[in-house]
Structure 1
């Protein structure tokens, strides 16, 4: 077994939430009085910490607007958006296979700790809170935002593993660049925020189009 630890990004990798993020961000921009940017502009910053994401899309945003956008976006995402959100098909089977192999599972996400904990408690896999699947998690507001590798470094240190014993799975260039900075292998998922060409340019070990492809790749190569 090559990979003792499999680290997942959250949005766009395990959870089909890209549409909800875009909708929530556009609603927030309209409410705050910022330019409502095209869908692609929001998709391109998914994976960054929220402050970094907002400053990337709206470089002239001031501190008051940043604070208001953060609050309004969070409210829209949790309560107001009508865009459905759930795990991608096959996630329960993937988790069962990986844990059955004796692998450890972790999360490295651009979400806030509060946001991730809410989803870990609310979403279920096989009738149980998904939080039970993971031995460790890191969020952007408690370490450095992707693509800086600090959150991966902290996970490896916590679990006493090397980068060569871990695999990063993500749907954005930020995930893949973060892994590459540590010499960690990665797999790109094409069903999330970034286009295939962007992902392949980061040099992942594989590009998978769905969760079942990922499961089969890990069985064969991991």
Structure 2
């Protein structure tokens, strides 16, 4: 019988993985576009870039924008997301129990997200989840997904090898980032990208909920 892998660190994406924030993000994108005079894209089009750094996401939706337009859209989005949107966002069911369990097991726990540092700090304070993470990385201190720099920085901080960690996410950006340094990856189907797209990156598991993930991880740590 093949021995199960024993991970020492678990690295999470944030939006669409731990936090059910898709609708809030799309709302902010659409409002920001309207405020800055850009075409308002459909919900489905707008959500596809969730997970990228804000500038990269804006250029993904609106190729060819001048830098001044990117800055204006970015500022409008941030203002709307943090202070103006009335669309609720909540952690996915089982998120806090999962994080608490991992900490009790003595694992290192980190975030690798496309959110800005300001946005991540705000939501960690709002949820109270900041206490569960040993390290967090955003594109502000690193590089946007799918560049694996965030993962490399986390491994260096923890003093671990690639084989000691697993990346968990809901987008192809998460899967590709981990694949780029041959890190094991787990795909969650409850987020932004369709499961069929995530499977192209050969995740070690594809799960439908954080409760399922909790059970899977307990067998692999």
**What range describes the TM-score normalised by the shorter chain of this pair?**
over 0.9
TM-score (norm 1): 0.95
Deviation of 1:116 after TM superposition, in Å, equals: 0.7
Aligned length: 217
Partners of 2:202 and 2:44 lie apart in 1 by 22
Which residue of structure 1 aligns with residue 143 of structure 2?
144
- The correspondence for 1:21, drawn from 10, 13, 25, is 25
Deviation of 1:150 after TM superposition, in Å, equals: 0.5
Partners of 1:177 and 1:10 lie apart in 2 by 16
- Following superposition of structure 1 onto structure 2, how do residues 139-218 of structure 1 map, counting pairs within 5 Å? 139-218=138-217
Which residue of structure 2 aligns with residue 121 of structure 1?
125
Partners of 1:213 and 1:21 lie apart in 2 by 25
Deviation of 1:39 after TM superposition, in Å, equals: 1.3
TM-score (norm 2): 0.95
- 2:100·2:132 contact (CA, 8 Å) conserved in 1? no
Q: Which runs of 4+ in 1 moved over 2 A?
A: none
Partners of 1:22 and 1:104 lie apart in 2 by 31
Partners of 2:220 and 2:67 lie apart in 1 by 47
Unaligned 5+ runs, structure 2 = none
Question: What per-residue deviation string (whole Å, max 9, x for no partner) do you get for residues 23-64 of structure 1?
Answer: 100010011111111112221111110111101110021111
Secondary structure of 2:143's partner?
coil
RMSD across aligned positions (CA) = 1.0
Unaligned 5+ runs, structure 1 = 125-129
Partners of 1:73 and 1:93 lie apart in 2 by 31
